[in-house]
Structure 1
Amino acid sequence: MAIEAPSTKFAVDGPEQQTVATFVQLLAGAVKHHSLYPENHSIAKQHLNKIFTTLSSFLKDNQVLHLVIDKTSIIYDGSILYEGKNNDNDIAFLLGRDGVEWIEFLREIEQWEIQSLLKLINLNRRSDIDSDGNIATALWETDLPHIEYKTIDLTALDIPLLNFKSFQVAPESATTFDSTEEESDTSIQDDELSPPQDLEDTEEDASHDEPGPSLTLTDLDTSLWQLSEMEKFQLDAMIRTEEEGVDTSSIIDVLFILLLLQTDTQEALDIMEFLQDRFQDCLQQQRFKYALRILVTLNKIQSTDTPLQKQLDPLITDLFQAVAKPESLRDLELFFTSPDISVPDNEIAALWKLLRLLPSSVMRALAPLSGKVDLQRFGLSFISIFETFGEEDPQTLAEVSTELNEKVCLLLLPFIKRINIEPATHILTAMALHPSQLVRSRVFHLLLEWNAVNTHKLFPLIEDQDPVIRQTLLSLISKKRSPRMELMLCKHIQEKITKSSDSDYILACYNALGKTGGAQCIPFLKKQLLQKSSLGTLFASGGGAHKEGAALALMTLRKAEARKIVQEGAASIIPDVRSACRKALGGKHAS
């Protein structure tokens, strides 16, 4: 007995109906997009999880979710929660078309059952001659344990039936022309010898034995069906393309059409996720023109002044930020390190264009690849990306500069010299800490030439392998007093050069501390001077340099408190303390 269609209304009242409405919308969206991605795809899994979570939240307080299908509508508790369209992408249309009156989801349902339902709906979208079944039949065959349904009995409907028994594609043909003639002669003789039959019998036999209309195919030259080697190759390529999935261009078109028609933010977000995933697939397949097309179209949407643009703007911005991250561009590493020579030039040109459309943060993804890129092939284009973004966002270029390959850094120097002095100095200051000795030396001397050495930011260079850089930096530090630099030098001496054997370097550090420091370093210098030397330190090649340097720094401070410490040390019973203090005082015991 068919269920009587309830009165319908579009209002969604209360949290329970809201949950059901969300579930129905998610289910409809999954059916709409199910053919775009395989069921084990991350995007498809995310959508499936949302559907199952929403359904589970409803079934937590209810034994069953009962949905009525009325043509292109889905009804719950007398309210229309979904109104679809007459096409094979619409869940309500598909269920109604195949005779499903209602469908129920029971409390103990499992996620695989939802996945199976989506799969069987997708497999039975078409209702033409090429389709062998329908959704109702598939539900019966699959027998999902926690999904119940009721279907219309199509056989009970007043549908005219056609008897195809009288139709024949072709009669049985004789094996040879001679045998046909012989049978024909025999039949004539039989007709002549046989007695006349009753008319009624003749009509009855005719109704059973009379052949229907026939179609006889003539033999064709088989050479017409033989494919050339090139045709076989093209056919194989077409088959592979078809097997690998739906045409990329069509998918992109469909996704953008759906995006522009959406009024629901969640639906728009789901489509943006599909677009992001399609973008990454294009990069993986080195189909950069399609990836570029996605970004260009999103840019156009974002540049329009419409209510839709305001709704989509944050979603588009998030997508651009997401695809610019290293994890999204990881497939470019394989392309840059093992470039496929079969990739057309126009595809490679599209790659450079799409990279320029991304946010400047894309430099974080590209910088680590700079040492792996085939610079002979991609060098100029690769470097131009950093030039483009470096001028508009010098901060990010500065942050990634130490990750750039040595050769890339050196090739960027002419560009850095051309831009404004302030951003150029910022970039060079960061690049001066590059792991490459050659880069550090070139950049440091360029900053020195510009009188733009920031001693605080370049402080790590006081222990550079290049003695010229070390001495120059310590000399610059010594030019003015700075409480901040005073603390930095104290920490460096205490943590980095305590066991150093380079006496000249140790003395240079203490000398710089004496010239840049103030009263706050006096306790530290006093401790360094008067503390008892360990046996190892006493006989180390640089052991006495610390006491000598401390005494020298105390005198250089030009403070009475500091001078008094040195004078008292000159009378110490400890030989190395007494020697260091007397040397700082000029070789005389001060009174």
Structure 2
Amino acid sequence: EVYWEKEPKLDFSHFSVTGHSNEQIQVPAGPKNGSVGPEQQSTSEDIGNQATVSIFSSKTKIDLMQLTPDETATLQNLIIEDENRNHAEDVMDVLLIILEELEEENEFGSILEILIQEFENILAHGEFRLAVKMLGFLKKLPHKNTSHKSWQIPLLNQFLETVSDSKVLKSIKEYFPKFISDDASQLKAFREVFLMLHPKAVLTLGTLLSEVTSADALHYLIEAITILSKQDLNPLSQLLKMSEDNLVELLVTILGNIDGNEPQKLMLNMARHPSPSVRMEALKQLLKRSGQVQRSFLFLLEDPSKLIRQEILNSLGSERDKISEYILLEYLDQKATNIADRDHILACYRALGKCGSSRSITFLKAAMTEQPWSDIFHFRELPHRFGAAVALTELEIPEADIILKQATHSFFPHIKRSARRAILERLPA
């Protein structure tokens, strides 16, 4: 045996031994002087042997163990408790004690192999407290020993990588359907065990996001993935490439909480993802981390999704901003002439009017009044001419009002029509 159990299996102090008071064993009287002859000594031994035999004899009429009803119930409860007791913690404690005392590298590695199996079994039963206890002990172990046990560190690092692998962590999927989210201590241990794993655990934890039904558990799982990914982004990067669109969208949200150049590059890649919902989430995260539209993701202004184009234009036109103004001026001057989507062109001009200033006056005046003969025979305003008029109304500055007023009296009907319509749309209903 490795150790003696500290807890008794059965405590007989709860029970009493009773017998019949009128039953006595008669022992022949010896000499008064107290001496015992050979025959008397033999007789005493025979009587003693008979009494001993009678205790264990199935035919004895002496009832040595008459239990009261309360004692019987107590005994039954102790038996049931022992049968239902989870001995996983006892086994783990013994292994950890042995591990701490070992002096040989090979033996140390062998115990770690057993602990890997125990860890997998612990997760399968949702015993996160024991998992935290095991990992916490092993993380502290190198600090307890002297330098002559330096060989422990690589073995312990390898252990942590192994238990963080999908082959081990997949066992937790067996427990998830039984997860009790209102158990505060269980949730705390659930969170702690994942935070103690190697970053490669993200490859498995990420796939669990779509299987968790508890909001609290999902929150802690996202937190663990975020923290582990800050240590090493590669597992999350791999997961983004091989997951379903709905999972990728959630992972992009997590990626948005990680600072640095590499996460930024990865986010820009996600902004080109085939799924519109993933691209939209990538744009939201890019805007959140940058505070405003940057040239690095201005390509989304020509995204196939109208919702994404509108999202980026809403951001550009959210406030008066010099950078946003320059971005839209450049875009409208160089690229928008090749865009056939009339609504998109008008939306770009409207955003320019909301973020622009007097710096945009020259461009907008030219867009509205130049080449007056180009569309004289058109019954519908050209999008750039009408868009420029809309932008001038959105600027809300005197210079813009003067240009619009002059345009309403223009000789050219289409210029006059564009200016008057833009002014009417600006008026409150």
TM-score, reference length from structure 1: 0.38
C-alpha contact (below 8 Å) 2:252/2:270 kept by paired residues: no
- In the TM superposition, residue 225 of structure 1 has moved relative to its aligned partner by 5.2
Equivalent-residue separation in structure 2 for 1:273 and 1:377 (angstroms): 33
Give the equivalent residue in structure 1 for 2:278: 439
1:236 aligns with 2:80: yes
Say which structure, 1 or 2, has more relative contact order (CA 8 Å, 6+ apart).
Answer: 2
1:363 aligns with 2:202: yes
Give the equivalent residue in structure 2 for 1:265: 105
C-alpha contact (below 8 Å) 2:194/2:224 kept by paired residues: yes
Per the alignment, do residues 268 and 204 of structure 1 end up closer, same or farther by CA in structure 2, a change over 3 Å counting? Answer: closer
Per the alignment, do residues 294 and 309 of structure 1 end up closer, same or farther by CA in structure 2, a change over 3 Å counting? Answer: farther
Gaps of 5+ in 1: 1-87, 91-170, 185-201, 471-478, 480-503, 505-591
Per the alignment, do residues 274 and 304 of structure 1 end up closer, same or farther by CA in structure 2, a change over 3 Å counting? Answer: same
Give the equivalent residue in structure 1 for 2:232: 393
C-alpha contact (below 8 Å) 1:401/1:434 kept by paired residues: no
- In the TM superposition, residue 302 of structure 1 has moved relative to its aligned partner by 3.0
Q: Write out aligned runs for 1:64-79 (5 A).
A: none
1:382 aligns with 2:221: yes
- In the TM superposition, residue 356 of structure 1 has moved relative to its aligned partner by 0.7
Give the equivalent residue in structure 2 for 1:315: 155
C-alpha contact (below 8 Å) 2:249/2:281 kept by paired residues: no
C-alpha contact (below 8 Å) 1:283/1:331 kept by paired residues: yes
Q: 2:95 aligns with which of 255, 270, 277?
A: 255
- In the TM superposition, residue 295 of structure 1 has moved relative to its aligned partner by 0.8
Per the alignment, do residues 219 and 212 of structure 1 end up closer, same or farther by CA in structure 2, a change over 3 Å counting? Answer: closer
C-alpha contact (below 8 Å) 1:289/1:350 kept by paired residues: yes
Per the alignment, do residues 399 and 429 of structure 1 end up closer, same or farther by CA in structure 2, a change over 3 Å counting? Answer: farther
Q: Write out aligned runs for 1:188-207 (5 A).
A: 203=39, 207=43
* Matched AA of 1:252: M
Equivalent-residue separation in structure 2 for 1:342 and 1:424 (angstroms): 32
- In the TM superposition, residue 445 of structure 1 has moved relative to its aligned partner by 6.8
Per the alignment, do residues 253 and 278 of structure 1 end up closer, same or farther by CA in structure 2, a change over 3 Å counting? Answer: same
Equivalent-residue separation in structure 2 for 1:420 and 1:466 (angstroms): 27
Per the alignment, do residues 315 and 435 of structure 1 end up closer, same or farther by CA in structure 2, a change over 3 Å counting? Answer: farther
Per the alignment, do residues 328 and 411 of structure 1 end up closer, same or farther by CA in structure 2, a change over 3 Å counting? Answer: closer
Q: Deviations over 1:49-103 (max 9, x none)?
A: xxxxxxxxxxxxxxxxxxxxxxxxxxxxxxxxxxxxxxx569xxxxxxxxxxxxx
- In the TM superposition, residue 334 of structure 1 has moved relative to its aligned partner by 2.3
* Matched AA of 2:237: A
Per the alignment, do residues 236 and 339 of structure 1 end up closer, same or farther by CA in structure 2, a change over 3 Å counting? Answer: same
Per the alignment, do residues 372 and 317 of structure 1 end up closer, same or farther by CA in structure 2, a change over 3 Å counting? Answer: same
Q: Deviations over 1:119-176 (max 9, x none)?
A: xxxxxxxxxxxxxxxxxxxxxxxxxxxxxxxxxxxxxxxxxxxxxxxxxxxx9x9xx9
SS in 1 for 2:212: coil
Give the equivalent residue in structure 2 for 1:557: none
Give the equivalent residue in structure 2 for 1:295: 135
- In the TM superposition, residue 261 of structure 1 has moved relative to its aligned partner by 2.6
Equivalent-residue separation in structure 2 for 1:231 and 1:405 (angstroms): 58
C-alpha contact (below 8 Å) 1:370/1:405 kept by paired residues: no
Which structure has greater strand proportion?
A: 1
Per the alignment, do residues 271 and 361 of structure 1 end up closer, same or farther by CA in structure 2, a change over 3 Å counting? Answer: same
Per the alignment, do residues 210 and 469 of structure 1 end up closer, same or farther by CA in structure 2, a change over 3 Å counting? Answer: closer
C-alpha contact (below 8 Å) 1:390/1:397 kept by paired residues: yes
Per the alignment, do residues 368 and 220 of structure 1 end up closer, same or farther by CA in structure 2, a change over 3 Å counting? Answer: closer
Equivalent-residue separation in structure 2 for 1:263 and 1:327 (angstroms): 30
Equivalent-residue separation in structure 2 for 1:318 and 1:324 (angstroms): 10
What is the alpha-carbon root mean square deviation over aligned residues? 4.7
SS in 2 for 1:329: helix
1:306 aligns with 2:146: yes
Give the equivalent residue in structure 1 for 2:322: none
Which structure has greater helix proportion?
A: 2
TM-score, reference length from structure 2: 0.51
1:345 aligns with 2:179: no
Q: 2:48 aligns with which of 188, 202, 212?
A: 212
- In the TM superposition, residue 410 of structure 1 has moved relative to its aligned partner by 4.5
Give the equivalent residue in structure 2 for 1:451: 295
- In the TM superposition, residue 441 of structure 1 has moved relative to its aligned partner by 2.9
Gaps of 5+ in 2: 4-18, 27-37, 56-61, 288-292, 310-329, 331-339, 341-429
Equivalent-residue separation in structure 2 for 1:210 and 1:305 (angstroms): 62
SS in 2 for 1:361: helix
C-alpha contact (below 8 Å) 1:259/1:271 kept by paired residues: yes
Equivalent-residue separation in structure 2 for 1:248 and 1:288 (angstroms): 12
Equivalent-residue separation in structure 2 for 1:375 and 1:465 (angstroms): 36
- In the TM superposition, residue 381 of structure 1 has moved relative to its aligned partner by 0.9
C-alpha contact (below 8 Å) 2:132/2:189 kept by paired residues: yes
Aligned-residue sequence identity (percent) comes to 19
Q: How many residues align?
A: 270
* Matched AA of 1:452: S
- In the TM superposition, residue 308 of structure 1 has moved relative to its aligned partner by 4.3
Give the equivalent residue in structure 2 for 1:65: none
C-alpha contact (below 8 Å) 2:142/2:153 kept by paired residues: yes
Per the alignment, do residues 418 and 239 of structure 1 end up closer, same or farther by CA in structure 2, a change over 3 Å counting? Answer: closer
Per the alignment, do residues 291 and 203 of structure 1 end up closer, same or farther by CA in structure 2, a change over 3 Å counting? Answer: same
Q: Write out aligned runs for 1:417-496 (5 A).
A: 417=256, 419-432=258-271, 436-444=275-283, 449-453=293-297, 466=305
Q: Write out aligned runs for 1:27-176 (5 A).
A: none
